[in-house]
């Protein structure tokens, strides 16, 4: 008698707060259907949706899928709102797995904690793999050829599934509006060197000024590399400055080796959850896989979800109020996690690096304020001082998050063994 191989359970995780979420899911499901994934009897696809009602003042109905066509194509859907997460926290605390304080570190307020909830529920529901996708990234690549652009659909989920069995994590490529840095015309108000000092002071070590300059020339757009798209080549991600750089979406986890799974973390009010995860995975096998997602960072291209393909992409000009405000918010987001990142990766030089940042920013921030005609950039120095003065507490929280996560993993391992008996 022929024994049928058991199904591979693939979780697809979204951390979302946008009204167009259902349109994004429909596009991805259509993409999986078109690529043959849905018809593959050996693969079961499950959605894990952690939603935030406060981000854009949305309702639960903005996330719960009622489209029968979608529901028949996926195997299950889990919705992780505050009540579902709170119930799980209560369960873990009552079972003496973790304390309430530890639970708040893993599952509390913030983007990282929502990602942890998705990761935990995927493990609890016996997923083999988990792929994180963002609600502002679409399965399509934009390629620049001479002075025109072409579009190519991307089999994002298939690419991760085909590669994740050989790795601990898989990480795809990104195109579109990845960088929030607008296109600047340097002049006597702000020179290129002054802006370079500003960006290098507030951003992480991975950001390279030459690549930023290239993006700025292209109006803030990152274009896909056709050689990567047409290749089956998979790169092994190398460690740089104590980090194996990944991003939080177009990101796959092999859930079969629980010892190679780490929690997301960010300091309160900051982002950088993917950056801090990058500092934990030095011993992990991370593969960069040949698929792109288009990042619609300004929500200007939601019509891509309806199949409308523009012939050119708008440049992000610094003279637009919305673009400048997004850059300001991104700059504050970066500076809020920079002290902790330096503390983790450059402990011996930490104080000297902070002093250098303060000195450089004190010189260039007035120029940046003048250029953007926005004095709110001055807040960056106050934010730096606050997060620098709290860096030891944030480091303890980060380490305690990892310790609490180990307790959760141990509990899941024991339960897995019980369920097998």
Domain presence at residue 414 = no
pLDDT digits (tens, 9 = 90+) for 311-337: 999 888 887 688 889 999 999 999 999
Structure pTM?
Answer: 0.95
For the cut 70, the answer to whether the pLDDT of residue 356 exceeds it is yes
How many domains in the chain? 1
For the cut 80, the answer to whether the pLDDT of residue 259 exceeds it is yes
Q: What is the CATH number of the domain that holds 94?
A: 3.90.550
Look-up of token digits 């009897």: 41
Rounded percentage of the chain residues whose pLDDT exceeds 90: 80
Domain presence at residue 112 = yes
Contacts of 399 (CB under 8 A, 6+ apart): none
Question: b/e per residue, 60-96, with b = 16+ CB within 10 A?
Answer: eebbebeeeebeebbeebbbbbeeebeebbeebeeee
Domain presence at residue 155 = yes
Please report the pLDDT score of residue 205 as a whole number.
Answer: 66
For the cut 50, the answer to whether the pLDDT of residue 396 exceeds it is yes
Domain presence at residue 47 = yes
Please report the pLDDT score of residue 320 as a whole number.
Answer: 67
175: containing domain = 8-180+219-314
Please report the pLDDT score of residue 419 as a whole number.
Answer: 52
R_g of the chain computed on alpha carbons: 22
For the cut 80, the answer to whether the pLDDT of residue 204 exceeds it is no
For the cut 70, the answer to whether the pLDDT of residue 113 exceeds it is yes
141 strand-pairing partners? 152
Domain presence at residue 174 = yes
Please report the pLDDT score of residue 2 as a whole number.
Answer: 46
Average pLDDT over residues 52-78: 91
């Amino acid at each position: 008698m022929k024994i049928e191989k058991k199904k591979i359970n693939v979780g697809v995780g979204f951390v979302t707060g946008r009204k167009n979420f259902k349109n994004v899911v429909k596009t991805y499901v259509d993409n999986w259907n078109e690529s043959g994934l849905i018809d593959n009897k050996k693969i079961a696809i499950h959605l894990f949706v952690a939603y935030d009602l406060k981000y854009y003042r949305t309702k639960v109905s903005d996330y719960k899928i009622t489209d029968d066509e979608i529901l028949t194509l996926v195997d299950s859907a889990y919705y992780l709102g505050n009540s579902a997460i709170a119930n799980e926290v209560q369960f873990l605390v009552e079972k003496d797995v973790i304390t309430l304080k530890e639970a708040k570190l893993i599952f509390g307020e913030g983007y990282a904690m929502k990602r942890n909830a998705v990761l935990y529920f995927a493990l609890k529901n016996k997923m083999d793999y988990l792929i994180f996708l963002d609600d502002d990234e679409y399965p399509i690549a934009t390629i620049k050829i001479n002075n025109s652009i072409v579009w190519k659909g991307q089999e994002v989920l298939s690419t991760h599934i085909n590669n994740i069995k050989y790795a601990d994590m898989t990480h795809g490529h990104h195109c579109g509006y990845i960088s929030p840095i607008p296109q600047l015309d340097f002049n006597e108000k702000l020179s290129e060197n002054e802006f370079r000092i500003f960006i290098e002071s507030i951003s992480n070590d991975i950001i390279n000024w030459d690549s930023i300059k290239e993006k700025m020339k292209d109006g803030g757009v990152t274009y896909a590399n056709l050689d990567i798209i047409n290749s089956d080549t998979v790169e092994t991600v190398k460690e740089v400055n104590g980090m194996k750089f990944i991003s939080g979406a177009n990101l796959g986890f092999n859930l079969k080796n629980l010892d190679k799974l780490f929690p997301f973390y960010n300091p309160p009010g900051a982002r950088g959850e993917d950056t801090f995860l990058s500092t934990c995975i030095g011993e992990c096998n991370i593969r960069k896989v040949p698929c792109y997602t288009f990042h619609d960072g300004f929500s200007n291209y939601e019509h891509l979800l309806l199949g409308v393909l523009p012939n050119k992409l708008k440049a992000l000009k610094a003279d637009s109020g919305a673009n400048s405000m997004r850059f300001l918010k991104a700059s504050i987001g970066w500076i809020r996690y920079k002290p902790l990142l330096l503390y983790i990766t450059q402990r011996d030089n930490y104080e000297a690096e902070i002093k250098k940042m303060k000195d450089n920013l004190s010189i260039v921030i007035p120029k940046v304020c003048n250029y953007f005609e926005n004095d709110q950039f001055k807040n960056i120095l106050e934010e730096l001082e606050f997060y620098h003065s709290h860096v030891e507490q944030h480091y303890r929280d980060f380490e305690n998050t990892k310790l609490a996560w180990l307790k959760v993993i141990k509990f899941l391992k024991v339960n897995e063994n019980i369920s097998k008996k």
